[in-house]
Amino acid sequence: MASVPAFAPRRDEPVFARLAIIGIGLIGSSIARAAKELNLAGTIVLADRDAAVRQRARELDLGHAIAETAAEAAVDADHVILCVPVGACGEVAAEIASELKSGAILSDVGSVKGSVVDAVSPHLPEGVSFVPAHPVAGTENSGPDAGFPSLFLNRWCILTPPEGTDPSAIAKTRQFWEGMGALVEVMSAQHHDLVLAVTSHLPHLIAYNIVGTAEDLEAVTQSEVIKFSAGGFRDFTRIAASDPTMWRDVFLHNKEAVLEMLGRFNEDLALLTRAIRYGDGETLHKHFTRTRAIRRGIVALGQEKPETEKLRKD
């Protein structure tokens, strides 16, 4: 076993006796690594629809057992986490419903919550609690090899339990994520989707568009785009390298909030366009000064390191 990460203590007693993780990508494999190393679960069972991914999970020794199906993984599990694209959550919930035992807690890790609650709730058996979760953490990499146990350290994990959810189920889910070093916040699914439309979904849409625009420019070759990429464009390419299936589902399942934010973005962009066209430096300076303060606030909250620290580390 790998050495225990220094960021969190290994528990004497696990939070859950049996944990099932369905989907062994970046998030799923990171949860498995952290839960195993920190004794957050007595037994960890993983499943994935891709046989090659299941085989790689065995080679990496990510869990105590690898199930052939999601339903098999869910048998007798105290906590089941759906680490699949948000568009697949309802289908997987239907598949495992008959195997979920009374008292079990079902969760997920998707970055859209309203549509997931709507898709999963009809399949919940009596006595099973649904506590949706969204760890606001990740990289542009995917697959079982991409995970690492400290992925959630000092990152927010947002829980969006539907009204009437058993408080003890919420508390245990919080305890599990805090055991991996995450900072936990609880809010409604609707509010989560609006907040994430601003902080994550719209930036990803812009990044995909900007990188696509650069590729389509006939006057600039692809080699020049790569060779002369400044820091800002490199950041966009990192974001735009994210899993296309996951982000397709995000935009389709949070379209109302994304369209609202996109409308506001287009209005603000029109103001900046006019300022540039008519040489209105004062408007540009005021806008850039205001947004600079937001960046400093993110650094102050520990959600990002200052550029000087990054340079020293590199």
Q: Which range, of 107-121, 174-188, 257-271, averages the lowest pLDDT?
A: 257-271
| Strand pairing category for 156-159 and 79-82 | unpaired
Token code pair at residue 245: 């299936």
CA–CA separation, 162 and 33 (whole Å): 28
pTM of the model: 0.78
**Residue 72's pLDDT is what?**
98
pLDDT tens string 30-76: 999 999 999 999 999 999 999 999 999 999 999 999 999 999 999 99
Token code pair at residue 240: 């735009």
pLDDT tens string 220-277: 556 666 566 556 666 767 777 777 887 788 888 888 888 888 888 888 889 889 999 9
If we measure between CA atoms, which residue out of 187, 136, 196, 135 comes closest to residue 163? 187
* 275 within 8 A of 263, measured Cβ to Cβ: no
**Residue 313's pLDDT is what?**
34
**Residue 309's pLDDT is what?**
38
Q: Please name each of the domains of the chain with its CATH number.
A: 16-187 (3.40.50.720), 191-279 (1.10.3660.10)
* 76 within 8 A of 50, measured Cβ to Cβ: no
**Residue 298's pLDDT is what?**
59
* β-sheet bridge partners, residue 105: 79, 129
**Residue 228's pLDDT is what?**
60
**Residue 142's pLDDT is what?**
86
**Residue 222's pLDDT is what?**
61
| Total Cβ atoms within 10 A of residue 56 | 18
Q: Is 18 helix (H, G, I), strand (E, B) or coil?
A: strand
| Total Cβ atoms within 10 A of residue 46 | 27
pLDDT-derived band of residue 200, with 50, 70 and 90 as boundaries?
confident
